[in-house]
Structure 1
Amino acid sequence: MSTAGPVTAESIPSVRPDIRVRKIRGTLVVAVPEQAFELAETTAFIWKRIDGVLTVGGIGELLAREYEIDVETAVEDTIEVLSELVEYGAVRV
């Protein structure tokens, strides 16, 4: 259930307004219409920075600083994570 084209570093992600998010025992759980899934630590970091303004590349830069990895790798990882969230129907770009 994709809600857009491919995710790029210039894409600006936003969370769909009908998505439910809960924190359960310290883990973020995202519920889309047909399923729910837990977010791993780095995915939760990315999720929390989706504001409809910041680009994927910008989120990747924040990820690089937080986890002390190179920016190129962080942006690639962010693109991969957000592509999956788009496929789940939780995020739009």
Structure 2
Amino acid sequence: MNDSEVPRVSLYSRVRRVAGALVVAGRTETEEPLELDETAELIWQSIDGRRTVRQIAARVARQYGEEEVELVADVAAFLDDLTARRLVEWPGDARRPPS
């Protein structure tokens, strides 16, 4: 992935708020849910199918008073984790959750 790519939330993602925390999970009950902290929730909410990785990092940087360039790698790593969990997809990505 590069910082100009645009992630989108997978149609197979399930999102719930549990005891105040945002929790995301894949489509089956056997997939481990992921409880998002404040920063992860901001990233998740920024995945809208229009913002690039760099734009998401810029949004996080503005929220926390950090330098965008310092956060791009961290945001990309989190998006990689979400992709591995099949919670995020990328345009043209051949990886699809199994039927």
The answer to whether residue 98 in structure 2 is matched with residue 73 in structure 1 is: no
Higher relative contact order (CA 8 A, sep 6+): 1
Instruction: Find the aligned partners of 1:69 and 1:81 in 2 and give their Cα distance.
Output: 17
TM-score by length of 1: 0.88
Q: Which moved more, 1:47-56 or 1:31-40?
A: 31-40
Q: Which runs of 5+ in 1 are unaligned?
A: 1-6
Equivalent residue for 2:10? Answer: 16
Query: TM-score scaled by structure 2?
Result: 0.83
- Cα distance in 2, alignment partners of residues 87 and 73 from structure 1: 23
Larger Rg: 2
Q: Sequence identity of aligned pairs in percent?
A: 36
**Which structure 1 residue ranges, 4+ long, deviate > 3 Å from structure 2?**
none
Question: Partner residue of 1:61?
Answer: 58
Q: What RMSD over aligned residues (CA atoms) do the two structures have, in Å?
A: 1.0
Query: Could you list the runs of 5+ residues in structure 2 that have no partner in the other structure?
Result: 91-99
Q: How many residues matched?
A: 87
